[in-house]
Structure formats: structure tokens, C-alpha cells
Amino acid sequence: MRRLRHPLLLALCLAFTGSAAFAWDGFGHQVIARIAWENLRPETRARAIALLRAAPADADLASLLPDDGRPLAERERTLFERAATWPDIVRDEAFAERNATYHHGSWHYVNHFWEQDANGRPLDVDRLRPQDVNVVERLHALEVSVADPGREAAQRGVDLAWILHLGGDIHQPLHTSARVTATEPEGDRGGNLFKLATEKDDLHWYWDCLLSKAYPRRGQESEAEQIERVVGKLQRRHPRTSFVGQLEPGRYEAWVQTGLALSKTEVYRGVERGKAPGRRYEKKAIRIAVPRIALAGYRLAEILERSLGAAR
């Protein structure tokens, strides 16, 4: 491997192996990106790849393009999928300069604060407000910036990687929610403080990994083969036509409100602190999460067609 490629691909393998404030694991983000890819016009795909390959050298984004001998079109598709994981990869503080330049923690989520009354009913907490810079604000801004032909292609490539990622993040219910309790008066950080069976396991990470739980890798199956299989199943079981009226292009706050409602009514129901979630809870969580991942892919394609679809 080339000198720069090795550390980034190593990070791609390691970035999703432990609990952290991610949204969907690396597999989930790549599946979302692949669904978007399958729903893009060829000319929009070509513009997206050109921008990703133009990203600044210190971002090390273009080095996610594999050199494994496959046809270029297949390797560029893999670059597109892997780019959706890049904003989590640059969290790695071992690469301090890259982290300082490109990591933006508050971009991944928006905290809407709520609590439960004595009967378990959700109530908004008005004394706490969402942060000004958040996933909704960023998606609006990035959609404009990536579409602007007056901006340098290098920066638009970085913006595009963020769109690929945040278009997935916004569909994880716990990236919209911060539940307030007596022990967490400032919110539970999207379930990160809701510990399960061990200190390393929390409710947020549990939800991040639901697609991997639903569709684990088979035997000697490669990651590329797993993505191919799962994307095929998701698009058959949850086709784009099943979301008519739900795509809501550009209505990012409405997307968030759907996830917040799920957090309030479903995510915390049937799970206890200090215990591993049971099979019944897992089935419910998968039933909620998997269609949202498919929807995220279709919505992501809509964002890209809006911003890159016209000749630029």
C-alpha cells in the first residue's frame, strides 16, 4: 500500500470496534451510501467521485480508493461507500493534525432534551436548547456549499464526505435525543451515558450496530460481498416506492422529529441499565432501524441529485 493509504485503511478497520459517539457503524454507513449510489444517475456519480478524488491531500480522503485490481468503476463505488465513514475516521487523535482540521464532533447530532414524568410520558425540557451547530444546520449549509461551482473542488470534496456521513447520522434516533434524568440533568448524550451490561456497552452503540446484528457477515464473506447482499435485501424489502411521501427533500428538521419521537416512545422502552437487551427488544430495535437505514439511502440520493445533479 502507498504510505498514506495504510494508516487510513487501518483506521477504517479499527474505528468502529468499540463504543463511541458514532451513528451507525462503518458497515451501516457504507450500506446507506451504496443505496444512495444505486439511486443516482451516472453523471451525478461521476461528479461525486471527481470531488472526492479532489479532496486535500492532508484529508487523506482519496486514499480510500482501493488498488485491488478490480475495474475502476467498482473501486470508485467503494471509495464513495468508504467516504461515508471518513468523518468518523478523522476522530482518531493519533493523527493530530488531521483531527484538528477535519473533526467536528457537534456536526453529527442535534440534542433535543426531554424527560419522562412519573407515568413515563415524555415531556420536553425547555431550559435546555439544542446546540447552534448541529446535524440539521450542517446539512443545510453543506448542501449549498457542495453545489457551489465557485468553491474549490478540494473543499467541496470534504463537504461531500460530510453529507454522505450526516445523511446517515440524522436517521439514528439517538442522534436527535438527549434524555434528562435525575442522574443526567444535562441529558444522557444520546444514550451514551445509558450503560448496558458492561461499562463499554451503552444504548447508543447498541443502536449503531443494529444493521450488523440483523445481517452479520457469513463465513468467508468479504465486506464488499456483505454490503452487496444486504443492500440487495434492503432494496427488495424496503423499495424506494414504499417511502412515497416520506422522502421530504431538504426537510432535515422534520427528519429529526421522526427520530426524536422514536427515542421518546420506543428506544428506552424494554431495556434496563446494567443489563444486556433481550431478544424481544433486539427484534423491535431492528424492526425500527433497518427501514430507517434504507430510507437514509434514498434520501441521501435525493440530496446529491439536488446539489450535484445539474451540470456544474
Sheet hosting strand 177-179, strand order edge to edge: 122-124, 112-116, 177-179
Q: What is the pLDDT of residue 3?
A: 34
pLDDT-derived band at 23, boundaries 50, 70, 90: confident
- What is the rounded average pLDDT of the residues 146-156? 96
| Residues 60-93: tens digit of each pLDDT | 998 999 999 899 999 999 999 999 999 999 999 9
- What is the rounded average pLDDT of the residues 143-148? 97
* 70 vs 67: CA distance, rounded Å: 8
pTM (2 decimals)?
Answer: 0.93
**Domains of the chain by residue range:** 5-308
User: Is 5-308 in CATH node 2.40.40.20?
Assistant: no
CA-to-CA separations, 31 to 20, 36, 123, 200, 261, in angstroms, rounded: 20, 9, 34, 25, 24
* 268 vs 186: CA distance, rounded Å: 17
Q: What is the pLDDT of residue 90?
A: 97
pLDDT-derived band at 312, boundaries 50, 70, 90: very low
Q: What is the pLDDT of residue 22?
A: 59
Number of neighbouring beta carbons within 10 Å of residue 218: 9
Write down the mean pLDDT value for the chain.
Answer: 92
Strands 122-124 and 112-116: antiparallel
| Residues 267-291: tens digit of each pLDDT | 999 999 999 999 999 999 999 999 9
| Residues 229-262: tens digit of each pLDDT | 999 999 999 999 999 999 999 999 999 999 999 9
| Residues 163-193: tens digit of each pLDDT | 999 999 999 999 999 999 999 999 999 999 9
Q: How many CA atoms lie within 13 A of 7 on its CB side?
A: 12
